[in-house]
Structure 1
Amino acid sequence: MGPREPDEPTIALPKPPGWEFLPGNDAGPVRGVLYNQDLRRHGFTPNAVVTLEDLTGQVGLPAQALAKERAAVAAIVGDLDTDIAGTVSGFASRTITYNLQGRPATGLLIAVQNAQNRIWAITVTTQTTDADNPQYIEATRQLLDSLEVRLPTP
């Protein structure tokens, strides 16, 4: 997903077999949704929602961006099941799991800071009603493990 602004990060996601991509509109944080109609169960289509939010001026450090995004999820869903620190493309990240309206969900939160101290939060949230489906498990693994984030070169 290309940036909307010249200094924004670029998000590169794989498209697992059978998954389709629907780009977000030109406003708001949603950059796109991946989904797989063939895996639809219990009236719900598994999906991965990708967001990019400019947090410059709201937080001063990448760790604060991650804390802000984590707190926003927890405010909606309550307690998180897991919260694991990591990195994506050299940027600080957290992988969280939780229950969203009766569906298991996984969120990958990434904080990106450029040389001018602009800070963005990227989130990729996957959810399904059939968490044991091997195709969904593999697609989620591909999406979260192969995601790449790049800042533009000066």
Structure 2
Amino acid sequence: MPIRSAKGGIVQQAADILRHQGISQFLFNAGGDMVCCGTHGDRPWCVGIADPFNPAGAHVLTLDVSDMTVATSGTYRRKWTFNGQTVHHIVDSYLGLPVQSDVVSCTVVHQYLVQAEVMAKVGLLLGRERGSAWLKDQTVAGWVLVLNTGEVIHSWNS
């Protein structure tokens, strides 16, 4: 069964339309899911990974990306208070409650955006230990986990 994702699929389709029109250098971003096609002039696209603990626009690191996609899933933006507790939008489908994870942000760099989006969500849901082990076994260009302690863990394939 193919992996499906609404936002990632729409962004991927829009990028495919641009490519079909002969446009070979662009960055298409939709809320943390992006297609980086070609380069930005003679340099790769520079993609910042947001610091979840500094809403002033700081980054925990930046990535140089060409001809790849980047997807980020996080619990630090879409949140609200419910019954006196802060909750977020990523729900454990078995419990029907916001997932409890020591990962607050997971970014995946992959050839295909929908796969990157799903892998970022899984990496976040699994948490540091299981998520990093699982991501190491996947075919990805790289990944970044930002933990609830502020620690940043990442891995890159050459």
TM-score over 0.5 (shorter chain): no
- Say which one has the larger Rg: 2
Q: Which has the higher contact order (CA 8 A, sep 6+)?
A: 1
